[in-house]
Structure 1
Amino acid sequence: MTAILRLESRKRIRSSVVLVVVFALLSALYFSMFPSIEEDIEELMEGFPDFFFDLFGIEALHTIEGFIAAEIYSFFWVVLVGIYFAYIGAGLIAGDVRDRKMDLTLSNPVSRESVALQKVAALWTPLVLLNVGVAVIVYIGAIVIGEHIDPVALTMVHLLSVPYLLVCAAIGLVASVIFDRARSARAMALSLVFVLWLLDGISQLDPDFEWAGVLSPSRYYDETAILVREEYAYPDAVVLLVAFLVLLGVATVIFTRRDI
């Protein structure tokens, strides 16, 4: 009953470990930079236009929390890891359909609903490895350079990112059940996640267009508010979880009705 879940979970280990290593290298780079530029950050900030700070949610850059939120979480975590989960989601169904593996899977006594749910459930592997690995790296990195990051805020920035990353994966899943080719599904999912993030940032530059960002998952996850101001928007996390369940339901219905 859980063979698909076990197989898919093992498949995600290697890429997740690689990403953790990448974040370790990035973190080492940024932590090594912070002590040398801490006193000059105010002058550096004056060289950037105001919209740049609004787009990336940069705040309190002179503190370790604000610096890490801007340099690691605002782009690398929200955008690149979000795109990574969209990429995974987009290959869950379309990849097997293209390789004819789905025919073999469905020839066994397993429902399409179970196939879809087990594949999505296997996302626990990258979710756990990335969130635990990166959190530990960031916390230790701060200690090494003589700084301190509130472990509760650091834990919450990762916990509250889980619903966001699940939505990104669900966007990919919907694309995966619509397109037969994994390449097309991934291109659509990656583009959509990036465009939605960009729409959210641009909509905040003009109050008249702020409503446009409501559809963006990133609107409901504010890493800077969590790390710098220790504000935990639980209602926003609930919105993301509901969006994930809706997208999962839509993808499952489409998958059960399509001809493979």
Structure 2
Amino acid sequence: MTAILRLESRKRVRGSVVLIAVFAVLSALYFSMFPGIQEEMDVFEAAFPEYMFDMFGIEELHTIEGFIAAELYSFFWSLLLAIYFAYVGAGLIASDVQERRMDLTLSNPVSRESVVLQKVAALWVPLVALNVGVPIIVYVGALVIGESFNPVALAMVHLLSIPYLLVCAGIGVVLSVVVDRVRRARSTALTLVFALWLVDSVSRIDPDYEWIGTFTPSRYYEETNILVHEEYAFLDAGLLLAVFLVLIVVATVVFTRRDI
């Protein structure tokens, strides 16, 4: 009953290890930079237009929390990792359909609903690996340079990112059951996630258009508020989880009704 889950989980191990290694390198780079530029951060902030800080939610760069939130989480986590999950989600079904493996899978006593749910459930591997490995790396890195994070805030910035990343994966899953070609599904998914992130960022510049960002998932995950201000938006996380469940239901219904 869980053969697909076990197989898909094994497929995610290598990518998860690579991503942890990438974040380890990035963390080492930024932590090595921080002591040397901390005292000059006021000059750095003055050199950039204020709208840049509004776009990316950058605050208090002179603190380790603000610096890491801006340099590591606001771009690499909120955008690139979101794109990764959308990319993976878009390949879950479409790759098997395109390569004719889905015919073999469905010839076994397994329902289409189970196929979708088991493939989506396999995302637990990168979710757990990254949200356990990266905070440990970040926390230890701060201690090495004589700084420290509030461990609760650091844990929450990762815990509350899970619903956001799941929504991005859910967007990919929907495209995976709608589009036959895996390359097209993946490119559409990553483009859509990037576009939503960009709309959210740009809409923050003008108060008259800020409401547009309420339709983007990244608006409901504020890494700077969590790390710097220790504000935990559990209601926003719950809303994202609800959106993810809706996306999976849509993907499951479409997949059960389509011809393979």
TM-score between both structures, scaled by the size of structure 1: 0.99
Shift of 1:164: 0.2
Q: For 1:227-251, what per-residue CA distance to the aligned partner results, in whole angstroms no more than 9, with x for missing partners?
A: 0000000000011000000111111
- Look up the match of 1:230: 230
- Look up the match of 1:242: 242
- Look up the match of 2:16: 16
Shift of 1:210: 1.3
- Look up the match of 2:80: 80
The share of aligned pairs that are identical, in percent, is 71
| Structure 2 unaligned regions, length at least 5 | none
Q: For 1:6-25, what per-residue CA distance to the aligned partner results, in whole angstroms no more than 9, with x for missing partners?
A: 00000000011001000000
- Look up the match of 1:32: 32
Say yes or no: does 1:63 pair with 2:63.
yes
Q: For 1:70-101, what per-residue CA distance to the aligned partner results, in whole angstroms no more than 9, with x for missing partners?
A: 00000000000000000000000000001100
Shift of 1:42: 0.6
- Look up the match of 1:45: 45
Q: For 1:148-187, what per-residue CA distance to the aligned partner results, in whole angstroms no more than 9, with x for missing partners?
A: 1010000000000000000000000011001001100001
1:141 and 1:170 map into 2 onto residues whose CA distance is 32
1:246 and 1:214 map into 2 onto residues whose CA distance is 17
Q: For residues 164-243 of structure 1, what are the structure 2 equivalents within 5 Å?
A: 164-243=164-243
Report the AA paired with residue 155 of structure 2.
T
Shift of 1:55: 1.1
2:55 and 2:172 map into 1 onto residues whose CA distance is 24
Shift of 1:51: 1.0
Shift of 1:38: 0.3
Report the AA paired with residue 58 of structure 2.
I
1:175 and 1:50 map into 2 onto residues whose CA distance is 37
Report the AA paired with residue 211 of structure 2.
W
What SS is found at the alignment partner of 2:208? helix
Report the AA paired with residue 228 of structure 1.
V
The alignment's C-alpha RMSD in Å is: 0.5
Report the AA paired with residue 223 of structure 1.
E
| Structure 1 unaligned regions, length at least 5 | none
Shift of 1:120: 0.4
TM-score between both structures, scaled by the size of structure 2: 0.99
2:125 and 2:71 map into 1 onto residues whose CA distance is 25
1:257 and 1:213 map into 2 onto residues whose CA distance is 33
1:123 and 1:86 map into 2 onto residues whose CA distance is 11
Report the AA paired with residue 71 of structure 1.
E
Number of matched pairs? 260
What SS is found at the alignment partner of 1:242? helix
Report the AA paired with residue 66 of structure 2.
G
Q: For residues 120-131 of structure 1, what are the structure 2 equivalents within 5 Å?
A: 120-131=120-131
Tell which deviates more after alignment, 199-208 or 71-80.
199-208
Q: For residues 113-124 of structure 1, what are the structure 2 equivalents within 5 Å?
A: 113-124=113-124
Which stretches of structure 1, 4 residues or more, deviate above 2 A after TM superposition? none
Report the AA paired with residue 161 of structure 1.
S
Report the AA paired with residue 105 of structure 1.
T
- Look up the match of 2:104: 104
Shift of 1:208: 1.2
1:55 and 1:204 map into 2 onto residues whose CA distance is 6
Shift of 1:46: 0.6
What SS is found at the alignment partner of 1:206? coil
Shift of 1:123: 0.4
Q: For 1:38-69, what per-residue CA distance to the aligned partner results, in whole angstroms no more than 9, with x for missing partners?
A: 00001011111111101111001000000000
